[in-house]
A and B are shown apart, each in its own frame.
Chain A
């Protein structure tokens, strides 16, 4: 008896451990997102300070106003780099949460996001070593070039996250449909026409399979196109348009499923 209690407690403890690890991941995503929002406000305030210092420098062209502008530009560049890094960290965390980094593509994206963050840290070192406004301007323009790649990578990651979110949703709806089907099976003391319900459930299952196929195809096409020379934002928006249609289709399943539920619960 004691042995059984012991085994039960061990299983329960393991269950809680698995559950809490999932919670930790979602809390990590939340924390990185908060960091990102905070870095956005720091960037905004540093931008305002720099605009003031730049105005002074352009008006007076004195040594002290130049020193002030250099200081403000350094702060601005540092907070800009932090802003981009925090954004990438939030995206990375979201990718981990939604995809669990199971496949090759997610793994590659995760590593690319990591490498972009490291590369940004190198730029930060360049900023602290610069002494003139022209050097800082050059670094900022180079950062702008780097940011084009960051944007491309971000849209690709967001596209994959969006596809996976919809795939997860479809899987969860499909699980509920299977459970509903289970309600129809052996207990067959159902008086109502279960054939009609079965047919409607089969129709929904067929639609689920069709949408699953469609989204997998969309994900494949998106990955191929976003890597080419096409404008990443445009490719992402096109994908979103198609995903919105799928989302509407998913939403159209719910009234049907609710009706089926009502029919079954009335008879049970």
Chain B
């Protein structure tokens, strides 16, 4: 019985670390850039995305950080929209048989 419990614990702990590793890898990949390099903030947006200096109150700091993220997200909306507009395509081969 004891061996079974130990085995179960071992499986759980290894599962936990595997998931953690997967998450780290996935996050790393997603940070490489979504959609296009045009979405990487430049100019004033890059300045906005600089993290604030942590204030003494962690809750206030977290709200501040979230607000900055939301502000950047709002500014980015337009670029994302234009990248998915239906492409202009011409039809008809232009050959008279």
Question: Could you show 6 A-B contacts with beta carbons less than 8 Å apart?
Answer: A23-B30, A24-B26, A50-B93, A87-B86, A137-B95, A179-B59
The reply to whether B30 and A73 form a contact with Cβ atoms under 8 Å apart is no
Interface SS of B by simple majority: helix
A: residues with CB less than 8 A from B are 2, 5-6, 9-10, 12-13, 16-17, 19-20, 23-24, 26-27, 29-30, 33, 37, 40, 50, 54, 57-58, 69, 73, 76, 80, 83-84, 87, 90-91, 94, 132-134, 136-137, 140-141, 143-144, 147, 150-151, 154-155, 158, 161-162, 165-166, 169, 172-173, 176, 179-180, 183, 240, 244, 247, 250-251, 254, 257-258, 261, 264-265, 268
Which of B20, B35, B36, B89 contacts A84 (CB under 8 A)?
B89
- Chain A nearest CB from B14 CB (Å) reads 10
- Contact string, B21-35, partner A, CB cutoff 8 A, digits 1/0? 011001101100011
Q: Is the CB of B26 within 8 A of A13?
A: no
**Top-4 shortest CB links A-B:** A144-B91, A134-B97, A16-B19, A154-B86
- Which chain A residues lie closer than 8 Å to B19 at the CB level? 12-13, 16-17, 20
Which of A16, A27, A244 gathers the greatest number of chain B CB atoms within 10 Å?
A16
- A183 shortest CB reach to chain B, Å: 7
User: Does B77 reach chain A (CB closer than 8 Å)?
Assistant: yes
Q: Are B91 and A141 in contact (CB under 8 A)?
A: yes
CB distance from B77 to the nearest CB of A (A): 6
CB distance A16 to B97 under 8 Å?
A: no
**Interface flag for B63 (CB, 8 Å):** yes
Counting chain B residues whose Cβ lies within 8 A of the other chain, the interface size class is: 35 or more
Decide: B95 and A173 in contact? CB cutoff 8 A.
no
CB contacts (< 8 Å) of A40 on chain B: these are 87
Which residues B53-97 have CB closer than 8 A to chain A?
55-57, 59-60, 63-64, 66-67, 70-71, 73-75, 77-78, 80-81, 83-87, 89, 91-95, 97
Query: Please, which residues of chain A bring their CB within 8 A of the CB of B7?
Result: none
- State which of A50, A54, A84, A94 has its C-beta within 8 Å of the C-beta of B84: A94
A147 CA to B85 CA, complexed, in Å: 13
Asked if B9 is an interface residue, CB under 8 A from chain A, the answer is yes
Across the interface, B9 reaches (CB within 8 A) one of A2, A17, A24, namely A2
